[in-house]
């Protein structure tokens, strides 16, 4: 097998990460299915412990990327390749197989993301409909909802100003995904370089005030989501406007 194939294998199965996927699951005791598989303990030889450590850590690190791997077939292929034997499939067949696998997994992932996005839109819409009826909650023309927790007495920022804030961001289920309060580190940024819900919402505040923003997904991260924030997520932020720098 050419030197290109290990790279292709890693890229195809992980979407670009060149982690040693070739070793993933190779040393899992259950994967080998061999009666001669050594029992690894702290007293095993260094060679055995190195082999097991590589296998365990690579398997653990890649189990989500390839969660339907036939480990028996994997180990058979690994042993043949490592021993320099002729592959049971040609390089072209392997490449085609892996590419088809990647395409199938990508399609499944896209379907799952789309379904999640639809569910999040419905949940967010239902929440806003109920939340907007609360007496202290105000809904703007854009669909942003906010609730003044503590009225400020200073100036209000413009979109072109820099602001210093403390904040905590939560998803609809209450999961905190970011918090300057927990870090005890206020953050300063240009107000026109954040999500639209923040740009609008903070202009409704005054220095020294605290407000809870209920931001619809179209004013947050939309269909793409961001990091651990799923697509079409409604976000809730508690924001303290500390200072405005015109």
Catalytic residue among 80, 161, 178, 238: 178
Instruction: Transcribe 27-94 into DSSP letters.
Output: T-HHHH--TT-----TTS-HHHHHHHHHHHHHHHHHTTTTTT--HHHHHHHHHHHHTTPPPSS-HHHH
Q: What are phi and psi of 203, to 5 degrees?
A: -70, -15
> Of 52, 74, 146, 221, which is the active-site residue?
221
Which residues have a Cβ under 8 Å from the Cβ of 86 and sit 6 or more positions away? 80
* Catalytic residue status for 195: yes
> Catalytic pick from 177, 181, 238, 242?
177
CA–CA separation, 188 and 190 (whole Å): 7
Whether 52 sits among the annotated catalytic residues: the reply is: no
Q: Is 178 a catalytic residue?
A: yes
113: closest CA among 193, 195, 215, 222?
Answer: 222
Assess contact for 191 and 160: CB atoms under 8 A.
yes
Catalytic: which of 5, 155, 181, 195? 195
Q: Is 121 a catalytic residue?
A: no
Choosing from 146, 167, 215, 229, the catalytic residue is 167
CB 91 within 8 A of CB 2: yes
Residues involved in catalysis: 167, 177-178, 195, 221, 237
């Amino acid at each position: 097998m050419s030197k290109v194939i290990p790279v292709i294998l890693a890229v195809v199965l992980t979407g670009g990460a060149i982690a040693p996927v070739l070793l993933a699951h190779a040393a899992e005791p259950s994967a080998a299915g061999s009666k001669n598989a050594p029992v690894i303990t702290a007293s095993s030889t260094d060679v055995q412990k190195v082999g097991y450590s590589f296998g365990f850590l690579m398997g653990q690190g890649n189990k989500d990327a390839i969660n339907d791997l036939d480990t028996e077939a994997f180990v058979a292929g690994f042993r043949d390749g490592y021993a320099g034997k002729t592959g049971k499939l040609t390089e072209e067949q392997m490449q085609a197989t892996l590419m088809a696998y990647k395409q199938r997994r990508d399609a499944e992932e896209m379907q799952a993301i789309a379904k999640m996005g639809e569910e999040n839109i419905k949940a967010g819409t239902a929440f806003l409909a109920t939340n907007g009826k609360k007496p202290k909650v105000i809904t703007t023309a854009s669909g942003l909802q906010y609730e003044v927790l503590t009225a400020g007495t200073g100036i209000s920022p413009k979109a072109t100003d820099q602001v210093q804030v403390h904040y905590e961001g939560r998803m609809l289920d209450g999961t905190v995904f970011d918090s300057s309060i927990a870090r005890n580190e206020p953050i300063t940024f240009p107000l026109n370089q954040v999500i639209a819900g923040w740009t609008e919402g903070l202009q409704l505040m005054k220095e020294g005030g605290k407000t809870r923003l209920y931001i619809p997904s179209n004013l947050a991260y939309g269909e793409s989501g961001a990091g651990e924030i799923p697509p079409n997520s409604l976000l809730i932020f508690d924001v303290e406007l500390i200072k405005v720098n015109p």
